Amino acid sequence: MNVESTLAELVRIDTRSAASNAGLINYVLPRVEAAGLRARILRYTDERGVEKSQLVAVSQKDFEEGDEVALALVGHTDTVPFDPAWTEALTLTERDGKLYGRGACDTKGFIAAALAAIEEADVRRLSRPLALVLTADEEVGCLGAKRLAESKPFSARAAVVGEPTSLRPMRAGKGYCLADVTVRGREGHSAYPHLGASAITRAARLVGRIEKIAEGLKRDAHEAFDPPHTTVNVGVISGGTAKNVIAGRCDFTLEWRPVPGQSPEIVADLVRREIEALRAEDEGFECELRVTRLDAGVETRADAPLVRALEEETGNAAGTVAFGTEAPQLAELGADAVVFGPGDIRVAHRTGEFVPAAELRDCAQILRRTVERFCGPEHQ
């Protein structure tokens, strides 16, 4: 089956993160087995009680739990939701050399290319183990990959993490961290400000200090990125109940994207220090900061074999990505991780996302040659 028809089959299976992805895993399973891989399905139940499946398929017959593979091709099976008005979301549609459908770009295009590469490579002749790894729940926080990083069903020397990069190898990525902040005040009639304490005014003081923290983080530069430093965002804020009531509570979200090499806790620690300082000035200053996500940045050396190989195969110099990927979890599994795949991240998550058909076919060929370089017989 060619790579476009494989993609059409994958797009047809609805794998929005909220639904089970078992249909897609069950579709891929007989194909990878027929290609000569030995597959294991790792199941778990997500926090809403939906069953999720992850596939780890390895070329080596005597492969044991925790053994190292020479190369892992890693794709996430889940997609973001789609607008019901997009009636062709699950029907791959070609127009002007572009293949449209939910997940075509992010990241079923990569999975279709990886399957084609595995079916074309003569897996039984490979001398070093190759793995195909299909994960769940990437779009909702890389939850499936985090389970793999914890349970370690395999380790990997190198890993291609499928994401739309327009076939440019991406060797580093910023981390992704979130916290919820609650500032408390004392409610009262707004005509008598001295009888209350506004949580909104207190939160505003703290947000002003967060802005200074963000300014200070610019000094810790990592030139491979644009912008070349850790960024901070207060994306949502809400507080108060009425125009004539002194606000008793104000909540905001704090998001930061740390550059690799920097502790992911850095912003939370700096903000906590400012909370203490504000408390010293205003003894009623009551504030809680709850960290809900703490993913560190990741960086693979510019001279790592997989970075070099993909640069040679594509003719594209390695770059960096600003969006979250499963690369940190693959790094935890020991891999030099490179983010790579067909399609452009700027059209992902949109109604009408697409992958260029030519890039999809090129990706399958590049992955096949990469498999042969990393896992093939020594003399070809």
Give the residues lining the site for Zn ion (CB under 5 A).
Answer: 106-107, 163
Distance in Å, CB of 116 to Zn ion, minimum = 19
Distance in Å, CB of 107 to Zn ion, minimum = 4
Give the CA angle between residues 301, 302, 305 to the nearest 5°: 80
Distance in Å, CB of 328 to Zn ion, minimum = 14
Distance in Å, CB of 319 to Zn ion, minimum = 17
Contact 245, 187 (CB under 8 A): yes
Q: Which of 273, 231, 279 is nearest to 256 (CA)?
A: 231
Distance in Å, CB of 138 to Zn ion, minimum = 6
In the complex with Zn ion, the residue whose CB is nearer, 135 or 198, is: 135
| Residue 226 designated active-site | no
Residue 195 DSSP class: G
C-alpha 216/C-alpha 53 separation (Å) is: 43
Determine the residue type at 237: I
φ, ψ of residue 255 to 5 degrees: the values are: -125, 140
Catalogue the E-assigned strands of 231-356: 231-233, 237-239, 245-246, 249-257, 286-295, 298-299, 319-321, 336-340, 354-356
Distance in Å, CB of 65 to Zn ion, minimum = 27
| Residue number, nearest CB to Zn ion | 106
In the complex with Zn ion, the residue whose CB is nearer, 106 or 313, is: 106
> Residues 6 or more apart from 128 whose CB is under 8 A from it?
69, 70, 71, 374, 375, 376
Strands in 98-100's sheet, in edge-to-edge order, are 93-95, 98-100, 354-356
Q: Partners of 319 in the beta sheet?
A: 170
Contact 334, 68 (CB under 8 A): yes
Q: Which own/partner pairs from 1-5 qualify as long-range (CB within 8 Å, at least 24 positions apart)?
A: 2/116, 3/112, 3/113, 3/115, 3/116, 3/360, 3/361, 3/364, 4/92, 4/94, 4/99, 4/112, 4/357, 4/360, 4/361
In the complex with Zn ion, the residue whose CB is nearer, 106 or 299, is: 106
In the complex with Zn ion, the residue whose CB is nearer, 75 or 264, is: 75
Distance in Å, CB of 111 to Zn ion, minimum = 11
Q: From the candidates 106, 119, 137, 138, which is the catalytic residue?
A: 138
Q: From the candidates 78, 137, 139, 372, which is the catalytic residue?
A: 78
In the complex with Zn ion, the residue whose CB is nearer, 185 or 297, is: 297
| Residue 138 designated active-site | yes
In the complex with Zn ion, the residue whose CB is nearer, 232 or 327, is: 327
Tokens of 337: 């991780």
In the complex with Zn ion, the residue whose CB is nearer, 75 or 376, is: 75
Q: Which residues are catalytically annotated?
A: 78, 138
